[in-house]
Structure formats: C-alpha cells, structure tokens
Amino acid sequence: MTTRTNIMSTKDYVKWFRNSAPYINAHRGKTFVLMFSGDAVAHPNFANIIHDIALLNSLGIKLVLAHGARPQIEERAAIRGISSQLENDLRITDSPILECVKDATGSVRMQIEALLTMGLANSPMHGAQIRVCSGNFVVAKPMGVRNGIDYQHTGMVRRVDTVGIKKQLDDGSIVLLSPTGYSPTGEVFNLSLEDVATQTAIALQADKLIVFSANDGLLDINGDLIQNCSVSDIKNLLNHSDDAETSRLLRAIASSGENGISRCHCVSHTDDGALLQELFTRDGAGTLISQDHYEQLRIATIDDVGGILELIEPLEAEGTLVKRSRELLENEIDLFTVIERDGMIVACAGLYPYEESSSGEIACVATHPDYRGEDRGERLLAALEKQAQEKQLASVFVLTTQTAHWFQELGFIEISQDQLPKKKQPFYNLQRNSKVFSKTLTGNHY
C-alpha cells in the first residue's frame, strides 16, 4: 500500500512538473520585485521562502528583494528604552530611533544574505551559489514637515539607481534592498518598505511586483480569498480596510498598477510553497492583480447588435464564423460579451450554456483586424470561462475550423463530435467539418 501511495505521489509530482513548464518559460529572463515585511522575515516559514527564491533564481528570473524591519526596529527601541512615535502610519525618526533603524536593517539584511548563501548538502540550497548585492541603490529625500509634524530622519524615495541594479541583475546577482536611503549630502533616511518596493518596481519597469502578507492573499469583506481582481478593485478594498498593514499593501499594489506594472501578486508568507504555487500553477495560491484596461469589457446590450454584425460579417463571408442574422443576434444578445473602445466594438464572443450536460459553448469569437495581436481574445475567453463557472458549468467547448492552435495554447483539448452535448450534436455541420475542443474549468490564475 505504501509503495502504491509513493507511485501515485510520484505521478502527481511529474504531472505538476510538466504542467509548470509554460510558466517556467514565461518567467525566464523577467524581472520580479519581491516585497516582504519584517514580520515575514521573523516568521518560521521564511527559510522556506528563501529556498523558493533560490529556485526562482536558478530558473533564470531576475530578482530584487525589498525587506522591511518594523518589528525589529521596535524591538531595539524597546531594549534601549526609547519611545517610538507613529504618525499617519509613518515612524517619526529622530536621532536615537535612527540608530535603531541602522541596527535593525543591518541585522535583517545580513540574516537574509546568510540564508541566501547557504549551500548545505541534502538541502534545497545545495549548489545554488547565489550572489547577493546590496548597496546605495536608493537615493532618498527628507519627508520634511507635514501638518506641523517634523518627521526628521524619515524620508521618501527620490531616485532609484536602475542602471546599477540592472547591471547586477544581468550579472546573475539577486539585489537586496533595505528600507533605508541615502542623500547626496551623506544623510541616512528611514524609508517605508512599500515606498522602496513600489518605486523600484516602477523604475525598473518590472514584470511583476510580489507582496507577501500574513493572509493567503487579498480578502473580500467576508474574509474570503480574492483570486483575481483589477487595480480599480483595490481602491474599493482600501475604502473598507481598517487594518494598517493591509492598507499599506493595497496602496503599494495600487501605486504599482497605476504606474505600469501589469501584474502584481499577493501571497502568504506563512504558507509553505505559496510563492511557487502562485507562479507555476493555473489556480495560484494568492491574489493576482491585473492592470486596468483602457478598453471596457462588458456584457453586450441590444445597442451593440450593429457593432457586432459589422465585426463578424467579414469573418462570416470567408467562412471562419457561422452566419448569424440580425434577428438571431438580437434574440441571443444576452449571451454575448464585448470589448468596447471609444464606442466601437473591437472584439466579441458568446457563451451558450448547456445546463443538462454542465457545459457551455464558446462561439463567435472575433477581434477587429486593427486590434489583433494583443490579449483581447484571451481576456474575452477568461471572462466567458468565469461566467461559465458562475453558472456552475464544469467545462466549455468550442467548434472551430481555423483557430485550433490558439485554443490548444489556451488549454483546450481536442474531443470527438460524439462527446458534444446531446442537444448540440444534431446541429453539428458535417460540411464545415469543424474540430471540437473542450476545457475543464478549474480556475484561471496567470
């Protein structure tokens, strides 16, 4: 029995490893900024996070790590009998507190460097030989006096040395940034972790910002995990947040998304393997936050019939799509989703549910020729799959004559026409000889 269990475990591992290949290929050579607090560093799971960071490095991902040190600073202030004052969730850094900041951040930095240098045999770090680079990459300026409060040695990011950081990344080093910065006059400033991480990600035009949280990811007002959302949704969450740490994370994500970072992730620093699950599985383990799109993706209305007809008529003429009359489209308009740009329908697709077989047909997928080559088709498909899940459908299928490869790249598997829902089979057009593809719905997390 034990042997059989081991075999099944091995098969599951092989399957997962194979399924991770597209993500490994997609992430190779990309730049990720990872943001983790002092609480994350102090957590027992942090050693596992370091192991996962080492794995990302070995897979060719360029990594910038931004760490915090709030609890470590408070601990040193308490030991020295120094009172620490916060205003608007920012520490007022006088000279005695600044010494605590230097002590704490230096200690945390060395702890992380030591963990990344480990290479014990029979451990995940064996043979890693990671180079870690820290330095004066962040130029800071004083926060100054605000609302009558002098923040003294508390500062803000003025500039990030992107040339220096990119040089280290290109040389294969991991760049480690502490929540401190330096001025051209030789002063040291205490910075917020969120400011360092977001400004660095924006300056580097990073491919991802990954923030670690004590929760599984971002939670809705009911405390349930949000798997996917947009930057605009973050602002709504901010309005309902009464937790200081969560608010800091949300502001960091919102700032990054509004300034060009297309993908942000929020994952747990307490759950072993959450980072790898988030990056290398379809469902992920935390929350994926996507940049808001200039175009509007929405359910179609009767006013969209003309625009949809204009979009699909050339494809119907060449035989790519089945012809639909205006009357038929008007009757089925509630089944369609469109992407609108400046009042023009630039893409559309429909979802036809077959509840008796717990499946749905994706049909009439079309994008205007001037707007192809981007991700509009993928966005539409993801929206329809989400709608299907909300209708509690277990799978979706599509009939196509010319776009088989595209659907296969998006996870669809070819099936026979005999596997179509019974109510659909009589309407299969033998003359068109369409290929049939199906996809089981288990979530969409990229």
* Same domain (yes/no): 124, 202: yes
Q: Can you tell me the distance from the alpha carbon of 303 to that of 308, in angstroms, rounded to the nearest whole number?
A: 10
Q: How many domains does the chain have?
A: 2
DSSP string, 280-294: HSSS-SSEEEEPPPS
Q: Are residues 346 and 364 in the same domain?
A: yes
What are the pLDDT digits (tens) for 23-69?
A: 899 899 999 999 999 999 999 999 999 999 999 999 999 999 999 99
Whether 274 and 380 map to the same domain: the answer is no
Are residue 282 and residue 376 in the same domain, yes or no?
no
Mean pLDDT of 332-342: 90
CATH number for the domain spanning 320: value is 3.40.630.30
Per the CB < 8 A criterion, the answer to whether 115 and 179 are in contact is: no
Mean pLDDT, the chain, integer: 89
181 band by pLDDT with thresholds 50, 70 and 90: very high
pLDDT of residue 293: 60
pTM value?
A: 0.70
Percent of the chain with pLDDT over 70: 94
Predicted pLDDT of residue 83: 87
What pLDDT, on the 0 to 100 scale, is given for residue 191?
96
Tell me what pLDDT residue 424 has.
93
336's enclosing H/E stretch is strand 336-341
Q: Are residues 282 and 311 in the same domain?
A: no
The CATH number linked to 276 is 3.40.1160.10
139 contacts 181 by C-beta, under 8 angstroms: yes
Tell me the mean pLDDT in the region 163-170.
96
Tell me which residue of 213, 160, 292, 180 sits closest to 35, measured CA to CA: 213
Residue 433: band (very low, low, confident or very high) from pLDDT cuts 50, 70, 90: confident
**The domain boundary residue, chosen from 234, 263, 290:** 290
Q: Are residues 305 and 244 in the same domain?
A: no
Q: Is residue 316 part of a domain?
A: yes
Residue 382 lies in a domain: yes
Q: E strand or H helix at 395, and its extent?
A: strand 395-400
**Residues 6 or more apart in contact with residue 446 via CB below 8 angstroms:** 263, 282, 288
Residues 311 and 373 in one domain: yes
Classify residue 445: in a domain, yes or no: no
Query: Residues 125-156, buried b or exposed e (16+ Cβ, 10 A)?
Result: beebebebbbeebbbbebbeeeeeeebbbbbb
Parallel/antiparallel/unpaired status of strands 155-160 and 138-142: antiparallel
Q: How confident is the model at residue 143 (pLDDT cuts 50, 70, 90)?
A: confident
Same domain, 302 and 259: no
Average pLDDT for residues 91-100, to the nearest whole number? 93
Instruction: Give the pLDDT of residue 334.
Output: 94
Is residue 401, in this structure, part of any structural domain at all? yes
Copy the structure tokens of residue 9.
């475990």
Across the range 173-191, mean pLDDT stands at 94
b/e per residue 398-429 (b: at least 16 CB within 10 A): bbbeeebebbeebbbeeeeeeebbeebeeeee
Domain residues for 251? 2-290
Same domain membership, residue 148 and residue 66: yes
In the predicted model, is pLDDT for residue 6 greater than 80? no
